[in-house]
Amino acid sequence: MRVHDDWATEMFDAAPAAPHIGPFAGAQFLAAWHRVLGNGARIHLVEAEDGLVPMMRTASTLEFAGDGDVTDYHSPRGAGIVELLAEYLAGVDEATPFRFDSMPIEAAEVVAKAVELAGCPAPLRQHEVAPVLTLPATFDEYLAALAKKDRHEMRRKRRRFEAGLGPPVLERRRGRRSIADFAAMHRRSAGEKGSFMDEAHESFFAVLHRDAGAVVDALVGGDGRVHAMAVGFEEPDAYYLYNSTYEPEDREHSPGIVLLEMLIRGAVAAGRTRFDLLKGDEAYKYRLGAQPRPLYEVTGVAGGRR
């Protein structure tokens, strides 16, 4: 076992314990988080020849690297995770609380075995969901699978947008300006959503766009204006919607829903089979036809008891 903080380790190429988790357990995403939002957390990349567990030590806890508020999925990587994590936890000198969160069941079961092997067993607890759409071969098939009321509502909002703002077009935007425009629109949102996009989070999104593959899409109306924007991640078979926003003054024209419709259309056209709406149990995700993917956490205390 080796404990270090080198994001360039080749073990990040190992398969994660949980499939379909996007960039969130990858070196580029986690390094961006640590650089901009890590607040001095000590990185412990626990590594062996057949496993990697990206962790951090805060003042009071041991956790996966990547703040759960911005990291939608956590998962160790490699085939030897159980023994590796168990060895690390068993070697903790002082009693230290741990919390391993945001894990799909495949990763959660592996981590639960590790903490049991380390002598600090803890139960799995579901604490979040990530609603996910399974995409068919055509957009018409997607619409047909929706509940009648939801299908009607999507079409009605599309017509409302077109009547007020003209035919929508989804445009891929690139470069630092795209993130600046996204952040500025985000800040115009009311309440907690608007206050979220401070300078640190704008910088984080900019680093994700530059270094970690985040893509930016803009919903442009027939009037030539941008009415909504999204930041996401793409894989050959999946799209992950990381964050989105729309112009508050355009609310009556439903730009947020039209943006989602256009993103789903694009994912279907690209042959993707998953559209992941990531963490959050908001009702609109289920009206789009998503099914909940449970996420689990394991909490307990390592060390200081043997």
Say which residues have a Cβ less than 8 Å from residue 115's Cβ, sequence separation at least 6: 85, 86, 89, 98, 121, 122, 298, 300, 302
CA torsion sign for 178, 102, 9, 19 is negative
The whole domain housing 195 covers 132-287
Residues 89 and 162 reside in one and the same domain:
no
Say which residues have a Cβ less than 8 Å from residue 77's Cβ, sequence separation at least 6: 11, 12, 14, 15, 16, 17, 25, 51, 52, 53, 54
Q: What is the pTM of this model?
A: 0.96
Structure confidence by residue, pLDDT tens digits, 8-58: 999 999 999 999 999 999 999 999 999 999 988 999 999 999 999 999 998
What's the structural domain count of the chain? 2
Residues 165 and 264 reside in one and the same domain:
yes
Residues 206 and 236 reside in one and the same domain:
yes
Residues 57 and 193 reside in one and the same domain:
no
Residues 77 and 167 reside in one and the same domain:
no
Beta bridge partners of 297: 125
Beta bridge partners of 158: none
Residues 48 and 109 reside in one and the same domain:
yes
| pLDDT bucket at 304, cuts 50 / 70 / 90 | low
In angstroms, the CA 251 to CA 15 distance is 42
Q: What one-character-per-residue DSSP string does 74-132 give?
A: ---EES-HHHHHHHHHHT-SS-EEEEEEEE-HHHHHHHHHHHHHTT----EEEEEE--E
Q: What is the CATH number of the domain that holds 236?
A: 3.40.630.30
pLDDT at 192 over 90: no
Structure confidence by residue, pLDDT tens digits, 250-299: 999 999 999 999 999 999 999 999 999 999 999 999 999 999 999 999 99
Residues 123 and 211 reside in one and the same domain:
no
Nearest 10 degrees: CA dihedral of 66, 69, 71, 77? Answer: 50
Token readout for 275 is 């559209």
Residues 67 and 205 reside in one and the same domain:
no
Measured in degrees and rounded to the nearest 5, phi and psi for residue 84 equal: -65, -50
Token readout for 65 is 């690297």
Q: What is the CATH number of the domain that holds 102?
A: 3.40.630
Residues 136 and 80 reside in one and the same domain:
no
| pLDDT bucket at 60, cuts 50 / 70 / 90 | confident
Structure confidence by residue, pLDDT tens digits, 67-122: 999 999 999 999 999 999 999 999 998 899 999 999 999 999 999 999 999 999 88
By the 8 A CB rule, do 114 and 85 touch?
Answer: yes
Residues 173 and 219 reside in one and the same domain:
yes
Residues 125 and 145 reside in one and the same domain:
no
Residues 157 and 239 reside in one and the same domain:
yes
